[in-house]
Amino acid sequence: MEAKKIYLDYAATTPVDPEVVEAMIQCLGPDGDYANSSSSHFFGKSAKVRIDTARGQIAARIGAEVDSICFTSGATESDNMALIGTMNANQHRGRHLITSTLEHKAVLDTANALKDQGFEVTFVDHDEHGVISTQQLATAIRNDTVLVSIMHVNNETGVLQDLAVLGELCRERGVLFHVDAAQSVGKVPLNVADFSVDLVSLTAHKAYGPMGIGALYIRKGMKIAPMTYGGEQEWGYRSGTLATHQIAGFGKAFALADPDQEGPLLAARRDQLWAGLKVIEGVSLNGHATKRSPHILNVTFAGVEGESLRTSLADVAISAGSACNSDVPDPSHVLRGMGLSDALASSSLRFSVGRFTTETDIDYVLSRVREEVLRLRELASGAPDWTVS
Active site residues: 324
* Residue 88: closest CA among 109, 119, 57: 119
Contact 276, 285 (CB under 8 A): no
Min separation Cβ 347 and another protein, Å: 9
Cα 247 from Cα 114, distance rounded (Å): 30
Min separation Cβ 118 and another protein, Å: 34
Min separation Cβ 378 and another protein, Å: 7
| Nearer Cβ to another protein (127/307) | 307
* Residue 33: closest CA among 195, 245, 211: 245
| Nearer Cβ to another protein (232/307) | 307
Quick one: DSSP state of residue 199? E
Cα 239 from Cα 231, distance rounded (Å): 5
Residue-level length of the chain: 389
| Nearer Cβ to another protein (272/312) | 312
Min separation Cβ 364 and another protein, Å: 18
Q: Is the dihedral of CA 175, 181, 184, 190 positive or negative?
A: positive
Contact residues: another protein, CB under 8 A? 303, 305, 307-308, 311-312, 327, 329, 342-343, 346, 378-384, 386-387
The secondary element (H helix, E strand) that includes residue 388 is: none
The secondary element (H helix, E strand) that includes residue 18 is: helix 18-25
Amino acid at 89: A
| Nearer Cβ to another protein (154/348) | 348
Cα 373 from Cα 20, distance rounded (Å): 38
| Nearer Cβ to another protein (137/344) | 344
Quick one: DSSP state of residue 168? H
Min separation Cβ 331 and another protein, Å: 9
